[in-house]
Amino acid sequence: MAGTGHAHLSDADADSVLVVKDLVMEFKVSGGTVKAVSGISFDVRRGETLGIVGESGCGKSTTGRAIMQLPRPTSGSIEFEGSDLTTLSNSEVREARTKVQMIFQDPVSALNPRRAVRDSVLEPLAIWNRGSKAEREKLVDEILESVGIDPERAAESRPHQFSGGQCQRISVARALVLDPTLIICDEPVSALDVSVQAQVLNLLEDLKVKYGLTLVFIAHDLAVVKNISDRVAVMYLGKMCEVATSDDLYAAPRHPYTNLLVSSIPEPDPEADHSMAVAIGEPPSPINPPSGCRFHPRCPYASERCASEEPELEELAPGHFVACHHPVAP
């Protein structure tokens, strides 16, 4: 299924905050090598939100962590504001992370259970010695208030005394406190109730405008990604299969896998017809991925060519790139 190639990357004159090229992440295990990410490329333009979506195990969270150098990638380049993070020393990477922050999936585990949450938000400023003590405390209070957390309560309460949604707001505050350029959101609402998800998504949108942020939003829920993303990149088994604007991708998905994902979005209608649902089975092992297009064993349109030749991302419509030998008609 997808793809190699750089056709979907912006030209050199575009204002791209992040450019990832040919990223590979592999992990040695007892049964062989897990090919978690296999040569994907993408860019993120300043001020936009790029959604990365796919089923569990496709490599989207590994991609987010690779950008943060957690751990360093097996190969490929990750250029952030013109500097390749993969070539930096450990101390230089540590400093670069002040401008590239991450919000993790489990908001409670991401916070130190033994510290007051206000201290957790204050800690990055103290480590990097930003401003005076009074200036740091004032900034932390302002940011906590901006995410809807009472600073006085945060000064005396531990993470377990807050709800999951409140803990995620605190994690957002901690990510903001060093004034980052880029924030990677690794499934930040998947552990939250639907009503709380909406609150956190609205908060991220508001903060993006207020602080001039660029976001990479990773999720497996297509409905969530659609609401927050400017562009969406679809991953499958370590590869990139489709890249398009949010509206185009959901209105006319061209890759068979994306088409199945979009058709699987639940409809709030008890009388909706689900008789056309397609069962495609379990995904292959990333230790021994299929040859050619990685989606071909599950694809209803697969041919012999799909098993032998890996497709490259090609532009089928303006700004709509697909890696497939048999794209779905719009």
Q: Residue 269: pLDDT above 80?
A: no
The answer to whether 51 and 214 have CB atoms below 8 angstroms apart is no
In this structure, the number of other CB atoms found within 10 A of the CB of residue 205 comes to 15
Residue keyed to tokens 């990477």: 93
Strand-pair partners of 284: none
The answer to whether 160 and 108 have CB atoms below 8 angstroms apart is yes
The closest of 195, 154, 193 to 172, measured between CA atoms, is: 154
Q: Residue 190: pLDDT above 70?
A: yes
* Amino acid 13: pLDDT: 61
Domain membership flag for residue 220: yes
The closest of 243, 259, 246, 283 to 59, measured between CA atoms, is: 283
Domain membership flag for residue 232: yes
* Amino acid 126: pLDDT: 93
Region 222-232 average pLDDT: 88
Count the alpha carbons within 13 Å of 2 in the hemisphere toward its beta carbon: 34
Model confidence pLDDT, tens digit, residues 54-98: 988 899 999 999 999 988 999 999 999 989 999 999 999 999 999
Q: Residue 259: pLDDT above 80?
A: yes
The answer to whether 86 and 74 have CB atoms below 8 angstroms apart is no
* Amino acid 220: pLDDT: 85
> What are 13's two structure tokens?
């004159």
* Amino acid 1: pLDDT: 41
How many domains does the chain fold into?
1
* Amino acid 274: pLDDT: 57
Mean pLDDT rounded to a whole number for the chain: 89
CATH code of 80's domain: 3.40.50.300
Beta strands, E only, 100-176: 100-103
Domain membership flag for residue 2: yes
Domain membership flag for residue 204: no
The answer for 5, left when phi > 0, alpha when psi is -120 to 50, beta otherwise, is: left
Q: Residue 184: pLDDT above 60?
A: yes
Burial of 17 (0-12, 13-18, 19+ CB in 10 A): buried
Q: Residue 271: pLDDT above 90?
A: no
The closest of 286, 255, 251, 299 to 56, measured between CA atoms, is: 286
Residue 63: phi and psi, rounded to 5, are: -65, -45
Domain region containing 94: 1-99+181-189+212-330
Domain membership flag for residue 160: no
Model confidence pLDDT, tens digit, residues 38-49: 999 999 999 999
Q: Residue 272: pLDDT above 70?
A: no
Beta strands, E only, the chain: 16-29, 32-45, 49-53, 75-80, 83-84, 100-103, 182-186, 214-219, 231-236, 239-245, 314-317, 320-322
Domain membership flag for residue 122: no
The closest of 222, 231, 288 to 38, measured between CA atoms, is: 288
User: In angstroms, rounded to a whole number, what is the distance separating the alpha carbons of residues 286 and 256?
Assistant: 20
Model confidence pLDDT, tens digit, residues 23-39: 999 999 988 999 999 99
Domain membership flag for residue 166: no
**What is the pTM (predicted TM-score) of this model?**
0.90
Q: Residue 179: pLDDT above 60?
A: yes
- CB contact set of 239 (below 8 Å; sequence gap of 6+): 1, 2, 3, 4, 38, 39, 40, 294, 323
Q: Residue 119: pLDDT above 70?
A: yes
Residue with the bigger pLDDT between 137 and 265: it is: 137
Residue keyed to tokens 């927050």: 228
Domain membership flag for residue 158: no
Buried-exposed string 223-256: b where 16+ CB fall within 10 A, e elsewhere: ebbbbbbbbbbbbbbbbbbbbbebebbbebbbbb
> What are 315's two structure tokens?
């532009």
